[in-house]
């Protein structure tokens, strides 16, 4: 099954006999702004216009646990996650399409969580809401309780020790911007740098200027050039397990399975006992 869907394909599916549940997961990373601007309000963006029938899902509340020692966006309690998905109308036997404002990170986080917990048919709208050519709606659909019950997968998830081991024995991609990987800047976490052995692979390089993914063959070539050869075990981390999910999605588009270290750099760097590498060299 393809992990992404085009806007025209989504429009056709919505008009079909078994339309997908559509989740709007608009979100932006909150950082302090010198101008004193208010933080991004995903619900307000949703209420101002969304794909008809879409249901809003809050990344910080529904797709992550409370920030702490496990990172800024740790795994949510699976009972609470399942309840949130059922409130959003997610059924185990009904397709799901997820979109965000175009960056793709938040939608990928929802895609990864649903896939990892057993949903068989989840896709991300390639290019997000800006790619949608149809009318937008301001109507909030009537609540329909779903039946999805999350069951965590046996694979696809890394902890800190697993990420460290994969950086030695497989390939561990760092999806953050190159300057954060190199430790030149660190606007959020305690210290800059990367997990020793990790390879810099900024997730922004997986998409074109329109925010849509590169062709599968181009993504495959990119990742293979970075070390993801046939038979190599692959993992990804980022700052807090959000943009890293987008890289896992890009790898899926390329046909390369990968695990996600959800705690990512926000967890790793908060532990003074964990080694930190700086500069362009993985080690």
Confidence of residue 36 (pLDDT cuts 50, 70, 90): low
Task: Look at residue 35 and tell me whether its pLDDT is greater than 70.
Answer: no
pLDDT tens, 181-191?
A: 999 999 889 89
Give the residue-averaged pLDDT of 196-201. 98
Give the residue-averaged pLDDT of 80-89. 98
249 annotated active-site: no
Q: What is the CA radius of gyration of the chain?
A: 18
Both structure tokens of 115: 């896939």
Task: Look at residue 117 and tell me whether its pLDDT is greater than 80.
Answer: yes
Of 106, 61, 85, 243, the residue nearest 151 (C-alpha): 85
SS3 content of the chain, % helix, strand, coil (to 5): 30, 15, 55
Confidence of residue 40 (pLDDT cuts 50, 70, 90): confident
Model pTM score: 0.95
Which one of 160, 238, 251, 253 is the catalytic residue?
238
- How far, in Å, CA of 45 to CA of 170, rounded? 41
Provide the percentage of residues in the chain whose pLDDT is more than 70.
97
Give the residue-averaged pLDDT of 148-167. 97
Task: Look at residue 43 and tell me whether its pLDDT is greater than 90.
Answer: yes
Give the residue-averaged pLDDT of 241-252. 98
E-strand ranges in the chain read: 4-5, 21-24, 55-56, 96-99, 122-125, 157-158, 171-174, 199-200, 234-237, 259-261
What pLDDT sits at residue 173?
98
- How far, in Å, CA of 232 to CA of 279, rounded? 25
Contact 210, 127 (CB under 8 A): yes
What pLDDT sits at residue 34?
44
Helix and strand totals (H; E) in the chain? 10, 10
Cα 183 to the center of its chain, rounded Å: 23
């Amino acid at each position: 099954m393809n992990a992404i869907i085009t806007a025209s394909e989504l429009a056709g599916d919505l008009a079909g006999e078994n339309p997908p549940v559509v989740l709007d997961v608009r979100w932006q990373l909150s950082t302090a702004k010198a101008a004193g601007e208010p933080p991004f309000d995903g619900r307000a963006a949703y209420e101002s216009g969304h794909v008809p029938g879409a249901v809003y899902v809050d990344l910080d509340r529904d797709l992550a646990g409370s920030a702490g020692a496990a990172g800024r966006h740790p795994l949510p309690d699976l009972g609470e996650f399942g309840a949130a998905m059922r409130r959003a109308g997610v059924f185990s036997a009904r397709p799901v399409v997820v979109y965000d404002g175009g960056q793709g990170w938040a939608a990928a986080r929802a895609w990864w969580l649903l896939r990892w917990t057993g949903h068989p048919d989840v896709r991300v709208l390639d290019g997000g809401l800006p790619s949608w050519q149809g009318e937008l709606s301001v109507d909030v659909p009537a609540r329909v309780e779903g039946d999805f019950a999350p069951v965590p997968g046996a694979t696809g998830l890394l902890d800190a020790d697993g990420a460290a081991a994969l950086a030695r024995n497989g390939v561990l991609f760092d999806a953050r911007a190159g300057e954060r990987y190199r430790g030149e800047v660190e606007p959020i976490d305690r210290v800059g740098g990367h997990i020793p052995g990790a390879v810099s692979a900024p997730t922004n390089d997986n998409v074109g200027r329109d925010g849509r993914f590169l062709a599968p063959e181009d993504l495959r070539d990119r990742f293979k050039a970075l070390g993801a050869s046939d038979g190599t075990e692959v993992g990804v981390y980022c700052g807090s397990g959000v943009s890293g999910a987008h890289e896992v999605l890009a790898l899926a588009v390329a046909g390369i399975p990968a695990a996600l270290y959800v705690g990512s750099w926000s967890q790793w760097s908060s532990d003074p006992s964990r080694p930190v590498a700086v500069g362009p060299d993985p080690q």
